[in-house]
Chains A and B, each alone.
Chain A
Amino acid sequence: MIRFHLAARSNVPPYAQVVEQVRHALLSGVLKPGDKLPSVKEVVAALAINPNTVLKAYRDLEREGLVEGRQGVGTFVLRRPDGPSPGDQAALERSLTTWVDQARDAGLSDGDIESMVRATLRVSSDEAIA
């Protein structure tokens, strides 16, 4: 069963965090097609967030075709998003963990690491466009 959490001082808005966490759960196999997502009330009670936030996140996921809402019953997983297989996903996460350990040993703070990741994403997407 997926458990949501909200990062306190993140620049990512709450609903986007919910979407991200559902996608991550789908990619890593925590949620499988046919599983039921927590109800809006359950998420709201656990996180103390606005119900519209959850509704919006679930609607986004529905638009992407990842989940399906059934009136009166709940929201169910339809399929896994396009991406690496669970095995590949796990392997990527392992190498990321290794790299993060290295970065921390080298003296980088979590904030430094996040900035580095963001900058790298920016640079590489610029290169991809060019």
Chain B
Amino acid sequence: MNTAIAVTDLGKRFGAKWALQDCTFALPEGRVCGLVGANGAGKTTLLRLLCGLSRPSTGRVEVAGQAPHDSAQFLSEIGYLAQDIPLYRRWSVADHLRMGAHLNRRWDDRAAHDRLRALRIPLDQRVGTLSGGQRAQVALAMALAKRPRVLMLDEPVAALDPLARRNFLSTLADAVADGDLTVMLSSHLVTDLERVCDHLVVLADSRTVLADGLDEVLASHRLLTGARRDTTGVERDHTVLRIERTHRQVSMWVRLNGALHDPHWEVTELSLEEIMLAYLGLGADHGVEPVVDGVPA
């Protein structure tokens, strides 16, 4: 299977501040990857680096097999939806499609028109008068019509109501079902990630802390609870994300590297949300698990 996105030690600095650093992951073709992280964690920076809108300060990045650069050939392989969904407010929907037809090598005009007609978005209406969900659909239709191999979306559904969000993700998933498309979208909403994504990249403190298939993530992360005791065995064999101790009990959020040999632990599956929270809680002390004295959940 080919790699759609390959990133190694990628970093981006603005002045003295690193917006992104030590970023490493590989995304196979055909996946839908969720990019997760707190605000300011580097999600937008990463997406812009992948599109070639921004240039790396360190490290390597390859998208669709080549380093992003300002050429018509590379640009025709990628698609991008910026966070605020920029469109020309006074232009009609049809104007935007025409723009795409003129400015792109590959352009599936018929598919774009069909898609928007099925969504009942009038083509001659000014984009500024459309709802947020409709604007997002127009932008998505434009991005899909240029038939990219890799599509990058920056929090496309953050400002949309639940129905518009569902429709947007439905359109996106439908396009993925057609094949030949890899998607990376940043999002906060766990429910959306669970439905639509099959791969996950988590950024904390501008670094990658998790990058894996969604099934693998769900299968390998567990909550271990038990009477208060020595945890060094677990900490040695597995990756501990978080420990909570009370005077009686200990809870550990872990990523299991192999089987757990100690039968004294009660093992519970973790929801995706709980896993992500554990990773996002890895703040500046990356590598040192924060110890929290508190009441068990």
Contacts and interface: CB of A to CB of B under 8 A. Distances in A.
Interface of A: 6, 8-9, 11, 13-14, 40-41, 44-53
Interface in B161-203: 166-167, 169-170, 172-174, 176-178, 191, 194-198
Contact of A44 (B174, B194, B198): B174
Contacts of B32: 50
Given A48-B166, A48-B169, A50-B32, A14 B174 contact: no
B215 A48 contact: no
Nearest to B173: A44
B195 A50 contact: yes
Nearest to B31: A52
A52 B195 CA distance: 11
Which among A9, A11, A13, A50 has the greatest number of chain B C-beta atoms within 10 A?
Answer: A50
Given A11-B271, A13-B218, A50 B198 contact: yes
Nearest to A46: B170
9 contacts: A41-B177, A44-B170, A44-B174, A45-B174, A48-B166, A48-B173, A50-B32, A52-B30, A53-B198
Interface string B223-252: 000000000000000000000000000000
A40 B149 CA distance: 21
Contacts of B167: 48
Given A11-B271, A13-B215, A13-B218, A49 B174 contact: no
A47 B215 contact: no
Given A44-B177, A48-B169, A51-B177, A8 B198 contact: no
B215 A51 contact: no
B136 to A, nearest CB: 14
A61 to B, nearest CB: 17
B196 A48 contact: yes
